[in-house]
Amino acid sequence: MAERVLPQHLGIIMDGNGRWAKKRGLPRSAGHAAGAKVFKQMVLYCGDIGLKYLTIYAFSTENWKRPQKEVLSLVSLFKIYLKDALDNFLNRNIQVRFLGDTSVFDPQLRKLIDEIKEASVGHTGMVLNIALNYGGRAEIVRAVRLLAQDVQQGKIKPEEIEEADIASRLYTAGEPDPDLIIRPSGEQRTSNFMLWQSAYTEYLVMDTLWPDFTPADLERAFDIYAKRDRRFGGI
C-alpha cells in the first residue's frame, strides 16, 4: 500500500467553541471546556500517528478583548490541561514548546509552563507548539527588535539581513514551516496565526465546530491535503 502523505507540520486554529455552546444554550466556557478535551484527544492522536510538528492556537494577543469571565475560564482550562500534559504528553516523549509572550500570565500558569519546558528537554517525539498570548504580527515585531539590537551591536549589517535572519528570531526558530493549517467552524481568516511561517501553507477551512472535531475529521483533512498540488510559486 502506498504510504500516505502526512503534513510534517500541522497547525490548528481551534475555533467554534462559542457557537457550539450557544447552539446548546450553554455558557461559552462550556464550549471551551469541550474544546479543551478535543485539544487533548488531537494531540495524543497526532503523536500516535507520527506527526512531527503540531502547532495549536490556544490564545491570541487579541483574545484579551473578551469579557474577563471568559478569559479567566480559559486560563483555568490552560492550567488543568497543562498539568495533565505533564503526565500524559511528556510520558509519550512529546516536546512541548510555547509560542507567544507567556510572561503576562499569573505565576501559577507561568510555573506550569516552565515545568513543562524543563520536562520536555531531551524529548525526541512530536513537537507540540502551544500558541498562548500569541500573535503573528507581535512575533514579527519581536523578531525585528531582536534583529535591530544585533544591528546596533554591530553583529549584522542592515544590507546583510535575509529571510533566514527573521525566521531564526521567531518563536518557531529551527522548525519547518507549517504544511497545512486547519481552521474548523467555517471561518475564512488567518486571525494573526503564523503570518510569516504560512507564506506557502495549505489552508483548509472545515465546517465542523472545534468541540465536535474528531480523528475522522483530521483524517479527512489529511486526505484533502495529500491531493493538493503544492507549487511554492513555481509551476
CB of 35 to ligand FPP, least distance (A): 3
CB of 57 to ligand FPP, least distance (A): 7
Nearest 5°: phi and psi at 55? Answer: -115, 125
Nearest 5°: phi and psi at 130? Answer: -105, 115
Of residues 62 and 219, the one with the C-beta less far from ligand FPP: 62
Give the active site residue among 63, 101, 150, 165. 63
Using CB under 6 A, which of 12, 51, 77, 96 touches ligand FPP?
77
Stretch that binds ligand FPP, among 32-40, 102-110, 113-121, 212-220 (CB under 6 A): 32-40
Q: Indicate if 15 belongs to the active site.
A: yes
What's the CA gap between 10 and 7, in Å, rounded? Answer: 6
Per CB under 6 A, does 73 bind ligand FPP?
A: no
74, 59 contact by CB (below 8 A)? yes
Q: How far is CA 221 from CA 77, 115, 127, 187, in A?
A: 27, 33, 20, 16
Q: Indicate if 63 belongs to the active site.
A: yes
Using CB under 6 A, which of 16, 47, 136, 178 touches ligand FPP?
16
What's the CA gap between 80 and 5, in Å, rounded? Answer: 34
- Residues marked as catalytic: 15, 63
